[in-house]
């Protein structure tokens, strides 16, 4: 009969009578060292920063090389919307707040910066700081009012605010907002490093920085004690209140931070696109953000960024294919719906919701689980 001492002596890593360490038992499972948590984000950031130095040509995906101005501009646009979708996921995916007015803060950042540079002739830096501060303050004020209600009522209140802002911009009060035509960027107030096609790489790096800031801020907050309260609110807000924690300040914090990140995205959008139009003020634009988040995976680190990038890229490519000769040669009853990107993207979204409800980031895990179940069934 083995005593406890014998068992301890045979255990992997146990001390021997000579003072050494016993080797692990034959056939014992070795634990695989997992890479640190920062390794993945750093690798993704390194790849993103290296694209302007790559002359790789990917036929079928991009029209030119990876470092060509057209490709860098498209990727920069995808990254801007990816950072915006990440800020929206802070509300929807992390706290469970269904807001239809997130586009209002994005438009506030873009229009405020454009007006300050055009009317007041402030430099880009000061215009950006004031625009972000104004968008953050606006989200704080409107959030303090909207968060008095929950659920569908919250969605309707935020929708009302967004529609009011959209109508105000479209009416062009004092001929300041440009109405339906929008506003162009006053390049005289912008540093030369961000003006012109030759400086597309600098705009690309600005878009990378914004996407990185959005992901880092959201991830840092969700891993903090505040983020754990957000998880509890999303799971059961009443239980959080019963435990003695008032959910309102925590929801208002998420609403304000999300609005601040969205207004910062509006400034970056103004630089990358070179102007702003009322299309970003509509509730449909917020619904597009909701589709992006759900497509990538709500409440995940990379899901909103991935979903927004793929959605934006697909929308851009489908618009190009809609005017190609291949589409014009099809019968009218087929070419008409297929030439509309929203029809194709909407169909793909419905299929994703039915067959892959966790989004794109959950797809590899589902594939591995299916293969594992298939392998177990053969045994």
114 within domain boundaries:
yes
Instruction: Give the CB-side neighbour count of residue 32, counting CA atoms within 13 A.
Output: 2
pLDDT in the model for residue 156:
94
> Is 338 or 75 the better-scoring residue by pLDDT?
75
C-alpha radius of gyration, the chain, whole number: 25
Q: Return the structure tokens found at 335.
A: 């070419």
**Burial per residue of 71-81, b for 16 or more beta-carbon CB atoms within 10 angstroms, e otherwise:** bbbbbbbbbbb
Query: Per-residue confidence at 7, pLDDT binned at 50, 70, 90?
Result: very low
Least trusted range by pLDDT, from 5-14, 48-57, 118-127: 5-14
99 within domain boundaries:
yes
Question: Which residue reads 């300041």 in tokens?
Answer: 176
280 within domain boundaries:
yes
| SS3 (DSSP) at 149 | coil
Its domain, for residue 248, covers 71-335
Distance CA 38, CA 51 (A): 21
pLDDT higher than threshold 80 for residue 342: no
354 within domain boundaries:
no
Distance CA 14, CA 178 (A): 76
pLDDT higher than threshold 90 for residue 332: no
Mean model confidence pLDDT for the chain: 84
The percentage of residues in the chain with a pLDDT greater than 70, rounded to a whole number, is 85
Distance CA 135, CA 273 (A): 19
pLDDT higher than threshold 50 for residue 362: yes
Least trusted range by pLDDT, from 63-77, 226-240, 341-355: 341-355
pLDDT in the model for residue 104:
94
pLDDT higher than threshold 70 for residue 99: yes
Least trusted range by pLDDT, from 93-107, 111-125, 171-185: 171-185
pLDDT higher than threshold 90 for residue 319: no
pLDDT higher than threshold 70 for residue 354: yes
Handedness of CA 243, 247, 253, 255 (dihedral sign): positive
pLDDT in the model for residue 18:
45
Least trusted range by pLDDT, from 69-73, 250-254, 274-278, 360-364: 360-364
292 within domain boundaries:
yes
Query: Per-residue confidence at 316, pLDDT binned at 50, 70, 90?
Result: confident
Nearest to 80 by CA among 216, 261, 256, 219: 261
| pLDDT tens digits, 262-280 | 999 999 999 999 999 999 9
Average pLDDT over residues 105-127: 94
pLDDT higher than threshold 50 for residue 373: yes
CB-based contact 266:105 (threshold 8 Å): yes
The CATH number covering residue 201 comes to: 1.10.3470
pLDDT in the model for residue 5:
46
Please count the structural domains in the chain: 1
CB-based contact 114:185 (threshold 8 Å): yes
| Chain mean position to CA 309 | 8
pLDDT in the model for residue 363:
78
pLDDT higher than threshold 60 for residue 251: yes
Query: Bridge partners of 100?
Result: none
Query: Per-residue confidence at 29, pLDDT binned at 50, 70, 90?
Result: very low
pLDDT in the model for residue 309:
92
pLDDT in the model for residue 343:
73
Least trusted range by pLDDT, from 43-52, 273-282, 347-356: 347-356
356 within domain boundaries:
no
The percentage of residues in the chain with a pLDDT greater than 90, rounded to a whole number, is 50
Least trusted range by pLDDT, from 11-15, 86-90, 164-168, 335-339: 11-15
49 within domain boundaries:
no
256 within domain boundaries:
yes
pLDDT higher than threshold 90 for residue 336: no
């Amino acid at each position: 009969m083995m005593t406890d001492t014998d068992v301890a002596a045979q255990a992997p890593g146990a001390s021997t009578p000579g003072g050494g360490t016993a080797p692990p038992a034959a056939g014992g499972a070795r634990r695989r060292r997992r890479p640190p948590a920062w390794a993945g984000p750093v690798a993704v950031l390194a790849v993103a920063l290296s694209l302007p130095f790559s002359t790789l040509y990917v036929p079928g995906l991009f029209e030119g090389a990876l470092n060509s101005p057209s490709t860098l501009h498209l990727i920069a646009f995808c990254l801007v919307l990816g950072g915006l979708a990440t800020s929206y996921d802070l509300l929807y995916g992390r706290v469970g707040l269904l807001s239809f007015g997130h586009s209002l803060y994005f438009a506030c950042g873009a229009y405020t910066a454009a007006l300050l540079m055009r009317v007041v002739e402030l430099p880009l830096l000061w215009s950006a700081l004031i625009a972000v501060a104004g968008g953050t303050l606006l989200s704080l004020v409107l959030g303090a009012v909207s968060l008095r209600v929950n659920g569908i009522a919250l969605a309707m209140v935020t929708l009302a605010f967004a529609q009011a802002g959209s109508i105000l911009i479209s009416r062009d009060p004092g001929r300041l907002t440009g109405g339906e035509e929008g506003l162009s960027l006053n390049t005289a107030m912008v540093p030369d490093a961000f003006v012109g096609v030759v400086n597309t790489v600098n705009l690309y790096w600005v878009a990378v920085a914004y996407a990185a800031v959005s992901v880092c801020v959201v991830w840092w907050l969700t891993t903090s004690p505040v983020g754990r309260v957000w998880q509890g609110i999303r799971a059961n807000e009443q239980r959080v209140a019963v435990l003695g924690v008032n959910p309102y300040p925590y929801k208002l914090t998420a609403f304000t931070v999300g609005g601040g990140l969205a207004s910062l995205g509006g400034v970056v959008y103004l630089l990358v696109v070179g102007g702003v139009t009322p299309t970003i003020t509509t509730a449909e634009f917020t619904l597009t953000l909701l589709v992006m988040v759900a497509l990538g995976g709500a409440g995940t680190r990379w899901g909103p960024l991935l979903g927004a990038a793929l959605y934006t890229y697909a929308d851009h490519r489908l618009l190009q294919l809609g005017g190609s000769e291949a589409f014009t040669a099809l019968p009218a009853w087929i070419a008409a719906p297929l030439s509309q990107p929203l029809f194709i993207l909407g169909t793909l979204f419905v299929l994703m919701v039915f067959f892959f409800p966790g989004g794109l980031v959950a797809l590899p895990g589902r594939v591995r689980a299916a293969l594992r179940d298939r392998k177990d069934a053969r045994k």
